[in-house]
Amino acid sequence: MIVEDVHKFVVRHPACGIVFPGWQPDQLMWHLAEALRDGELFIAAVDETIYGVIIAKIDHEARQIVVSSIITIAKPTFITFVRKWRAMYPDYTVVGNRSGKTRRYNLNNFKRLLHDERTDKVSC
């Protein structure tokens, strides 16, 4: 999967203008390429079909995953990211802006959702 594929997915998504308001296509491409380079771009896909993209910084000192942008085509896709993060960073928290407020979530709080069969085939 290359950054151009991710860019195409993000630009075509109805939430693109909400997540990246006023961004020009080349500005968004640069941002995605930089996130990929820095290990901050997480992609959920099946057979080269993208279902979601998250840009997040892993803060090892604070033991948290700081999410700056999320675009998915279905809510269960987010659980794919949670599965991956729980395997890699089991005692970290997820921090992000939701409805204008900073929210903090413990990865263990998603246990019920982690058993959703709809997310079993999607991988990061």
Which pTM does this prediction carry?
A: 0.81
Q: In whole angstroms, give the CA distance from residue 58 to residue 51.
A: 21
Give the strand pairing for 64-72 and 49-59: antiparallel
pLDDT of residue 58: 94
Binned at pLDDT 50, 70 and 90, residue 15 comes out as confident
Q: Looking at residue 106, what is its pLDDT?
A: 85
Q: Out of 3.30.70.100, 3.90.180.10, 3.40.630.30, 2.40.10.170, select the CATH number for domain 3-119.
A: 3.40.630.30
pLDDT digits (tens, 9 = 90+) for 25-66: 999 999 999 999 999 999 998 888 899 999 999 999 999 999
What b/e string do you get for 11-41 counting C-beta neighbours within 10 Å, with b at 16 or more?
eebeebeebbeebeeeebbebbbebbeeebb
Tokens at 15, concatenated: 């939430």
Strands (E), the chain: 41-46, 49-59, 64-72, 93-98, 101-106
**For 76-101, what is the mean pLDDT?**
87
